[in-house]
């Protein structure tokens, strides 16, 4: 049996760990609240730009744009959004597992795909396995601004236009609630299934639909990436909050168990001392 000093030391260290996880839980809860608000406030913009883009693209039958046209697929791009840090439960492992299994199933060599990683955990995961990472970004803020990811978003869209890859899939965690985040696969490019959930509005545009789409379609694709990043950040903070709550609860259960063991060991030590004193007194009689 462990000594009283060892048990006391474990109780003290576990209490300190519990304080840390509790603090991280509260910080993540505050960040999740802001991230959720950012993600929800971005939705009206996304709906409007989708409506305008769909109205122009679908309303003008003679309009042609490379981002709206499917082509033979020689190489597939995968944009994967993860976090820069761990301690967030299955947030990273779930999305990385799905991407890894998908690539293994669809492709036989690294020449058939390219990976764009947003987040240190995803970048390190793929590079450690020798997979084809052509672009990455780390250090994205907890409440990201579009300027932070504009460069990688525009490069990603540009790679499709330059035929570096012929289609692009995006993988991230979709925020449903504080306790549910779903791994989501979305085909980002080409924009063959662009549509609006609302009734299309008739727009008059100058100088022409082609000129507007040249500017609007890349912005729309970049906005989809930014919206997914906001969604992923809300999921990350929610997942970390849940993980830290579980860690705090487990620490409290361990403290209670160790306290019970400590009290039993102390009681046994006291009983043994009393027995020895009584035995010694009896021996003197």
Q: Which member of 88, 117, 137, 221 is catalytic?
A: 88
pLDDT of residue 60 exceeding 70, the answer is no
- Would you say domain 25-242 falls under CATH 3.40.50.1970? no
Q: What is the CA 125 to chain-centroid distance, rounded?
A: 14
Listed in order, the ranges of the chain carrying CATH 1.10.287 are 4-20+244-284
Q: Which of 12-21, 43-52, 224-233 has the lowest mean pLDDT?
A: 43-52
Listed in order, the ranges of the chain carrying CATH 3.40.1380.10 are 25-242
Residue 88 among the catalytic residues: yes
Q: How high does pLDDT run on average in the chain?
A: 88
CA 157 to CA 255: how far, in whole Å? 53
> What is the predicted pLDDT for the residue at 208?
72
Q: Which of 21-25, 149-153, 212-216, 227-231 has the lowest mean pLDDT?
A: 212-216
pLDDT of residue 243 exceeding 90, the answer is yes
Task: Answer left, alpha or beta for residue 139, where phi above 0 means left and psi between -120 and 50 means alpha.
Answer: left
Identify the CATH class of 4-20+244-284: mainly alpha
> What is the predicted pLDDT for the residue at 17?
94
For residue 80, count CB atoms less than 10 angstroms from its CB and return exposed for 0-12, middle for 13-18, buried for 19 or more. buried
The whole-model pTM stands at 0.87
């Amino acid at each position: 049996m462990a000594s009283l000093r060892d048990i006391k030391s474990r109780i003290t260290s576990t209490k300190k760990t519990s304080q840390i996880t509790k603090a991280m839980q509260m910080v993540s809860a505050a960040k999740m609240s802001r991230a959720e608000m950012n993600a929800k406030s971005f939705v009206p913009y996304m709906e409007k730009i989708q409506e305008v883009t769909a109205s122009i693209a679908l309303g003008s039958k003679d309009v042609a744009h490379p981002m709206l046209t499917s082509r033979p697929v020689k190489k597939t791009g995968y944009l994967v959004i993860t976090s820069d840090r761990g301690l967030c439960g299955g947030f990273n492992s779930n999305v990385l597992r799905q991407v890894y299994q998908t690539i293994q199933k669809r492709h036989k060599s690294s020449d058939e795909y390219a990976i764009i990683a947003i987040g240190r955990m995803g970048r390190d995961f793929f590079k450690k396995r020798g997979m084809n990472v052509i672009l990455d970004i780390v250090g994205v803020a907890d409440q990201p601004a579009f300027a932070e990811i504009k460069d990688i978003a525009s490069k990603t869209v540009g790679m499709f236009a330059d035929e570096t890859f012929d289609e692009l899939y995006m993988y991230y965690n979709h925020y449903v609630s504080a306790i549910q985040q779903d791994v989501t696969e979305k085909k980002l490019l080409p924009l063959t299934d662009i549509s609006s959930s609302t009734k299309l509005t008739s727009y008059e545009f100058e100088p022409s639909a082609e000129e507007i789409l040249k500017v609007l379609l890349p912005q729309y694709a970049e906005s989809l990436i930014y919206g997914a990043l906001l969604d992923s950040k809300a999921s990350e903070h929610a997942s970390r909050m849940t993980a830290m709550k579980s860690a705090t609860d487990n620490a409290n259960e361990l403290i209670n168990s160790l306290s019970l063991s400590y009290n039993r060991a102390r009681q046994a030590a006291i009983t043994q001392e009393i027995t020895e004193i009584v035995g010694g007194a009896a021996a003197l009689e």
